[in-house]
Structure 1
Amino acid sequence: MRRAPFVLSALLLLAVSAAQAAGLRHFDVPAGPDGPAIRGVAWHPCAEPPHEIDARGGRTFFGVNDCPIVGDKLPLIVISHGRRGWLGGHHDTAAALADAGFIVVTINHPTDTERDTSGTDSLAVTVERPADIKRTIDYALGGWPDAVRIDAGRIGLFGFSWGGYTGLAAIGGEPDLRRGLPSCQTSSLRACKELEGGERPSGPVIHDPRIKAAIIVDPFPVLFFAAESLKAVTIPIQLWSSDPAQNGDGLSGCCAAAINDRLPSRPEFHLVQDAKHFSFLATCTPAETAKMVAICTDAPGFDRVAFHQRFNAAAIAFFRTQLGEAATR
């Protein structure tokens, strides 16, 4: 069902105005020996009412720029976007978590964003993406001006698609990045072609034991993770999968059932009937829909706005259970 633009905006605003707003603060993780600069946005509790913020390109956030942070010793959540994604791809989830009392950091992974695809699907990003997570947490706890607001003992991660791969690697997964991997030899993935051509990863995959809980959504690619590769993944996981029946478009990774079977401890698993891979992204504005029809179009009868209200509530409940209650307002 198509919604008129003003109706969609009203529904999105209603979803975030039941309490207060998310505050937004832009930042950059400085470039250094470990990698290039990383652009990011911190979402945080804010006592002011939300309003529409122009996020450029026909996109809209709901929140308050540069709002004073409410609360101290707040849990931190880091969000890793998918293939050729961007730091705003899950802005509604980030805002919901921030309004629930979490500080949420969303980043652009260098060389695998909508504006820079030079590393997309490459062997390089298999190690660079997990390193980005560690570098971002290092900055949030150290160089960020409001680092004192964060409880360093309560850190979580949210990863979607390639961000799901990133999350699994960051929390202890050891991707099998070697030449001759059977599942890689028949794959068209760029990283597989590079491996078969004799290339090697530029360094080890960096894990971050500071991450205490993770939400993993439709992780891709999973061919690098056999059960043996995931034996060290022991933190609590909420695992989400789109519907295999809705993902025959060849555009994306699907789904999470294989990872569910390989994890050493059973996660909190959610299979979402009729959801496409991209149904986990924030609801599109009319301008986004016009530019990205495949990403913004759901299966007939699937209500992305209603689903995200349930999805975000489940994410909040999971992180509250695993990391403890956030700020009280």
Structure 2
Amino acid sequence: MAEWTPCAKPAETIELRPFLLPAVRDCPVAGKGLPLIVLSHGFRGTNLSHHDTAEAFADAGFVVVALNHPDDSALSKDKGPSLKALTNRPTDIKRVIDFMLGASPDAAKIDPQRIGFFGFSRGGYTGLVLAGAEPDFQQLRRRCADPTGADCKPIDPALVPTSTLTRDPRIKAFVIADPLSSAFPTRESVQVISAPLQLWSSEGGGDGVSPKDIARIAANLASPPEHHAVPGSGHFAFLTVCPAALAKSLPELCTDAPGFSRAKFHEELNSKALAFLKKHLPVQP
């Protein structure tokens, strides 16, 4: 788990390969009654996949925590996608919030009434479930090179989980970026959501995410979300800007369309997400 907090000391450069982070290790938390934001990464992501967004939130006075989902991160032993990961993800987030409000040494600094969420891809799915959405796992299709191929077929009904998924009403506002959208095909899937929601969608989609599906989610919500469609973007544009070594080893995650600046886009993403969270997690009188 990684945590960012407001800090009164000037940032140093910390190397956490492959990233260089502007931070101060173990800096005393500056302030009290601070809002908490929990970040949820996508398939095979890590707690550093959105570190620039976490830094922007912390610099603005938020406590930010990001985890490596045990069944679904780059560090997981099981490297394939699984329904187990999708059912466990919301519980992972609940446990992180429990810790941050309980056993964490920073618990006394956090306002338990001001909790928000940022999630990308499967992390976006996670946020929708926490907010009350009901996924239809039969609508998910296996990852496959050819979506029309014989191996790209519906999930085996025997693998569909029957347990109740975790919700968390302590989360008061959600920023959802390019969520795994095919799991929510109907109005009934998402209509129960009542918390404020900022929804982001890429133009190109990818990795099982469809812009049309996200537009359908936006239309099916009981209250219209603050929806931002990002021209020229692909699915992975929501990941932090890649350092050179990562861009070389994982070009599919790091390469954007010609003319699209991920760095410039993240200035907009972080600014608008921050404004949304400040609006819906106001300082309590």
TM-score (norm 2): 0.91
Equivalent in the alignment of 2:35 = 75
Which stretches in structure 1 are left out of the alignment for 5+ residues?
Answer: 1-39
CA distance in 1, matches of 2:274, 2:82: 33
Alignment partner of 1:226 out of 186, 191, 195: 186
Q: Which amino acid aligns with 1:140?
A: M
- Structure 1 residue aligned with 2:272: 314
Aligned twin of 2:161: 201
Pick from 13, 16, 26: which aligns with 1:55? Answer: 16
The sequence identity of aligned pairs, in percent, is 45
What is the CA distance between 1:203 and its match in structure 2? Answer: 2.4
- Cα deviation, residue 146, structure 1: 1.1
Q: Which residue of 2 aligns with 1:4?
A: none
- Which of residues 127, 134, 142 is equivalent to 1:188? 142
In 1, Cα distance between equivalents of 2:167 and 2:153: 25
State whether residues 119 and 125 of structure 1, in contact with CA within 8 Å, keep that contact through their aligned partners in structure 2.
no
User: Quick one: distance in 1 between partners of 2:122 and 2:156?
Assistant: 21
Map 1:1-329 to 2 at 5 A: 40-56=1-17, 58-116=18-76, 118=78, 120-177=80-137, 181=138, 183-184=139-140, 187-189=141-143, 195-201=155-161, 203-244=163-204, 247=205, 251-255=207-211, 256-325=214-283
Report deviation, 1:127: 1.3
Q: TM-score, normalised by structure 1?
A: 0.79
Q: In the aligned structure 2, how far is the partner of 1:117 from the partner of 1:319?
A: 34
**C-alpha contact (below 8 Å) 2:6/2:59 kept by paired residues:** yes
Provide closer, same or farther for how the CA distance between residues 225 and 265 of structure 1 changes in structure 2, counting only shifts above 3 A.
Answer: same
Q: Is the 8 A contact 1:59 1:287 kept in 2?
A: no
Considering only aligned residues, what root-mean-square deviation do their CA atoms show, in Å?
Answer: 2.0
Structure 2 contact 40–66 (Cα < 8 Å) conserved:
yes
Structure 1 contact 42–105 (Cα < 8 Å) conserved: yes
Letter aligned with residue 236 of structure 2: F
Equivalent-residue separation in structure 1 for 2:208 and 2:132 (angstroms)? 24
Shift of 1:225: 4.5
In 2 relative to 1, CA 103–225 (structure 1 residues): closer, same or farther, beyond 3 Å? farther
Tell me how far 1:195 sits from its aligned partner: 4.6
Once the two structures are TM-superposed, the CA of residue 120 in structure 1 deviates from its matched residue by 4.4
- Report the Cα distance in structure 2 between the residues aligned to 1:193 and 1:224, rounded to whole angstroms: 17
Provide, for residues 144-199 of structure 1, a one-character-per-residue CA deviation record: whole Å limited to 9, x for no partner: 1110100000000001000000000011112134xxx4x34xx2259x97852512
Q: Which moved more, 1:308-317 or 1:193-202?
A: 193-202
- Paired with 1:225 and 1:321, the residues of 2 have a C-alpha distance of 29
- 1:294 and 1:119 map into 2 onto residues whose CA distance is 17
Point out where structure 2 has 5 or more consecutive residues left out of the alignment: 145-151
Equivalent residue letter for 1:241: S
SS of match in other structure, 1:45: coil
* 1:238 and 1:269 in contact (8 A); partners too: yes
Residues 262 and 74 from structure 1, CA distance in 2 versus in 1: closer, same or farther, beyond 3 angstroms?
Answer: same
Q: Cα 1:146–1:282, aligned 2, differ >3 Å: closer, same or farther?
A: same
Alignment check: 8 A CA contact 2:182 2:210 kept = no
